[in-house]
């Protein structure tokens, strides 16, 4: 699949809600240490898992999306299927933990 | 700029400092005197002591040994570590220092906070990182649970986000000579944190209830595990994960002793300190 998609308020519906494939969304911010460490892991998942779409929401730029999905702590991963949140994983996790717990 | 700053002056920290110093590198050890070792009454299972030695004496001997080797040791409390590309800023109650590498060796709290509701609401109104998650509580009612300089430091960060920040000391007293004047604090013992989807209330043992939007945990002195959570260091069962060189997943940050898990023994802490000290020396010489 390649790289994660930058998700914004504008493209959220198109990329996440209308997707027929599962979408993994990483809520992050540049000032957050654990988010910085999880970034490369999310990139790897995007690279290695073609069956899902991977997106990233910078909460600093897109606070409305963070509020809408009640994000209180970052990093938070949400797994969307058919436009609805199916799973949530809060905090820094290894790639294996993410794969085991969220999919 | 130090080649390495070691946080913690117990057996892991001091052993690490000795190995780094003997490699002709500039090392600073920062720590408080309240280590687990000092609480050990008599040590009878450590190599080389014909007669048992008290933990306090062994601790003091370690510091004397390091000082004799001209190692710089400061009795101070680290409240934050910041990562700026390839260097690290270590913020203490009294000062700030810079280093190329960090060794986390604070030991591990033997009595972690056990407030009802904390585990349940982690990530849902309860956070361990003011810098990471303060953003979500702009102009909201924020509580910091803790009673030391670490709690005061977290509260100061959060005061930039909201005017409504209260420290809940959970039955303890704030430091007498604190670095910042604190007026907004509650000293009652906490019974539980309650809420539905999210934490929304702190209930004291006397049944007083306080509505809150967000709670930040900063109890006691910040430990290696607390720093790890903020920096993005992997933990395994609340122990810091290190590789064969005692390095964490953040290049340049190492960990040694009790905070990495395994045997909570002096012999293991000394080994970890030596191993990490040698690894750090090798790393710094290759920078």
The answer for B192, left when phi > 0, alpha when psi is -120 to 50, beta otherwise, is beta
Total of domains in chain A: 1
Task: Give the burial class of B139: count Cβ atoms within 10 A of its Cβ; 0-12 exposed, 13-18 middle, 19 or more buried.
Answer: exposed
- CATH number of the domain where residue A46 is located: 3.40.30.10
At residue B182, the pLDDT reads 84
Q: Are A2 and A80 in contact (CB under 8 A)?
A: no
Q: pLDDT tens across B12-29, in order? A: 999 999 999 999 999 999
pTM score of the predicted model: 0.92
pLDDT over 60 (residue A1): no
pLDDT at residue B110, as a whole number: 60
Domain that holds residue A62: 5-22+30-94
Helix (H, G, I), strand (E, B) or coil at B231: helix
Same domain as B189, residue B236: no
Percent of chain B with pLDDT over 70: 99
State which residues form the domain around B27. Answer: 2-109+222-286
Q: Average model confidence (pLDDT) for chain B?
A: 94
**Same domain, yes or no: B89 and B167:** no
In a domain, A101, yes or no: no
Same domain assignment for residues B207 and B251: no
Question: What is chain B's alpha carbon radius of gyration, rounded to the nearest angstrom?
Answer: 20
Q: Say if residue B206 is in the same domain as residue B241.
A: no
Q: Could you tell me if B276 and B207 lie in one domain?
A: no
How many whole angstroms from its chain centre is CA B21? 23
Q: Which of B197, B217, B237 is the last residue of a domain?
A: B217
Mutate to test the interface with B, among A34, A42, A62, A101 (most CBs of B within 10 A): A34
Classify residue A82: in a domain, yes or no: yes
* Residues B167, B84 within the same domain: no
Co-location of B7 and B105 in the same domain:
yes
The answer as to whether A99 is a domain residue is no
In a domain, B41, yes or no: yes
In this structure, the answer to whether residues B237 and B152 fall within a common structural domain is: no
Beta bridge partners of B190: B204
Query: What's the first-to-final CA gap in chain B, in angstroms?
Result: 14
Neighbours of B109 (CB within 10 A): 18
Name the nearest CA neighbour of A38 among A96, A92, A77, A101.
Answer: A92
Reduced to 3 states (helix: H, G, I; strand: E, B; else coil), residue B215 is strand
Range 77-116 of B in CB contact (< 8 A) with A: 83
Is A103 inside a domain boundary?
Answer: no
Q: Are strands A5-6 and A53-58 parallel, antiparallel or unpaired?
A: parallel
Q: Are residues B158 and B257 in the same domain?
A: no
Q: What is the mean pLDDT of residues B66-91?
A: 94
Euclidean distance between CA atoms B86 and A90, whole angstroms: 27
> What pLDDT digit, counting tens, does each position of B157-179 carry?
999 999 999 999 999 999 888 87
**Predicted pLDDT at B85:** 79
pLDDT above 70 covers what percent of chain A? 99
pLDDT for res B40:
87
Number of domains in chain B: 2
pLDDT, one tens digit per residue, over B85-126 is 789 999 999 899 999 999 999 998 765 568 999 999 999 999
Would you call B123 and A72 a contact, using CB atoms and an 8 Å cutoff? yes
pLDDT of residue A103: 78
**Which pLDDT value is given to residue B84?**
85
Q: Which of A26, A91, A98 to mutate to test the interface with B (most CBs of B within 10 A)?
A: A91
Q: Is B239 a residue whose pLDDT tops 90?
A: yes
The answer on B205 and B138 residing in a single domain is yes
Tell me which of A16, A32, A53, A71 is the catalytic residue.
Answer: A32
Q: What is the CATH number of the domain that holds B174?
A: 3.50.50.60
pLDDT on residue B240: 97
Chain CA centroid to CA B99, Å: 17
Q: Phi, psi (5° rounding) for residue A35?
A: -65, -40
Q: Which of B174, B190, B217 is the last residue of a domain?
A: B217
Residue B24 lies in a domain: yes
Is A62 inside any structural domain? yes
Does residue B137 lie in a domain region? yes
How far apart are the C-alpha atoms of B79 and B90, rounded to whole Å? 8
Tell me what percent of the residues of chain A surpass a pLDDT of 90. Answer: 93
Note whether B12 and B105 are same-domain residues.
yes
Q: What is the DSSP letter of B285?
A: H
> Do B279 and B209 share a structural domain?
no
Mind listing the pLDDT tens digit for each residue in B220-232?
899 999 999 999 9
DSSP E strands in chain B: the ranges are 2-7, 27-31, 72-75, 78-84, 87-92, 96-104, 126-127, 142-145, 165-168, 185-186, 190-195, 199-204, 209-211, 214-217, 235-236, 239-240, 253-255
pLDDT of A91 over the 90 cut = yes
Mean local confidence (pLDDT), B260-268: 95
Q: What is the ipTM of this complex?
A: 0.89
Would you tell me the crossing angle of helices A33-48 and B224-231 to the nearest 10 degrees? Answer: 50
The question of whether A89 is a catalytic residue gets the answer no
* A35 noted as active-site residue: yes
Q: What is the pLDDT of residues B167-211, one digit of tens each?
A: 999 999 998 888 788 889 999 999 999 999 999 999 999 999 999
- Under an 8 A CB cutoff, do B232 and A70 touch? no
Residue B120 included in any domain: no
Q: Give the pLDDT confidence of B50-66 residue by residue, as tens digits.
A: 999 999 999 999 999 99
* Nearest to B107, CA basis, from B234, B258, B263: B258
Q: Which residue of A has its CA nearest to B214?
A: A72
Which residues share a beta bridge with B7?
B30, B104
Partners of A32 on chain B (C-beta within 8 Å) are 129, 131-132, 232
Residue B138 in domain: yes
B119 assigned to some structural domain:
no
Hunting for tokens 């504008």 — which residue is that? A10
B102 inside domain: yes
């Amino acid at each position: 699949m390649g790289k994660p998609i930058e998700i914004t308020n504008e493209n959220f519906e198109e990329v996440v809600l209308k997707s027929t494939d599962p979408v993994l969304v990483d809520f992050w911010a540049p000032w957050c240490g654990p988010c910085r460490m999880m970034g490369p892991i999310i990139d790897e998942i995007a690279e290695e898992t073609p069956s899902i779409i991977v997106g990233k929401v910078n909460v600093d730029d897109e606070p409305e999306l963070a509020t809408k999905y009640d994000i209180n702590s970052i990093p938070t991963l949400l797994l969307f299927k058919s436009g609805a949140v199916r799973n949530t994983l809060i905090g820094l996790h290894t790639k294996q933990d993410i794969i085991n717990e969220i999919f | 700029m130090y080649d390495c700053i070691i946080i913690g002056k117990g057996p892991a920290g001091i052993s690490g400092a000795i190995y780094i110093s003997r490699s002709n590198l500039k090392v600073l050890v920062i720590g408080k005197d309240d280590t687990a070792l000092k609480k050990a009454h008599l040590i009878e299972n450590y190599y080389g002591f014909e007669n048992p030695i008290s933990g306090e004496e062994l601790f003091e001997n370690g510091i004397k040994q390091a000082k004799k080797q001209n190692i710089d040791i400061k009795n101070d409390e680290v409240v934050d570590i910041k990562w700026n590309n390839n260097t690290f800023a270590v913020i203490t109650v009294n000062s700030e220092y810079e280093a190329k590498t960090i060794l986390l060796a604070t030991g591990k709290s033997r009595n972690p906070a056990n407030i009802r509701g904390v585990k349940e609401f982690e990530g849902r109104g309860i956070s361990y990182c003011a810098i990471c998650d303060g953003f979500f509580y702009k102009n909201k009612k924020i509580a910091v649970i803790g009673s030391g300089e670490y709690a005061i430091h977290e509260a100061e960060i959060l005061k930039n986000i909201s005017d409504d920040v209260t420290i809940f000391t959970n039955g303890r007293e704030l430091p007498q000579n604190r670095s910042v004047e604190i007026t907004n604090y509650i000293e009652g013992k906490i019974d539980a944190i309650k809420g539905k989807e999210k934490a929304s209330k702190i209930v004291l043992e006397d049944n007083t209830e306080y509505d809150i939007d967000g709670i930040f945990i900063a109890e006691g002195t910040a430990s290696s595990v607390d720093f790890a959570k903020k920096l993005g260091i992997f933990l395994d069962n609340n122990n810091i994960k290190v590789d064969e060189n005692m390095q964490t997943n953040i290049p340049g940050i190492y960990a040694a002793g009790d905070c990495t898990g395994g045997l909570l023994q002096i012999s293991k802490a000394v080994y970890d300190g030596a191993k990490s000290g040698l690894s750090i020396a090798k790393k710094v010489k290759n920078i």
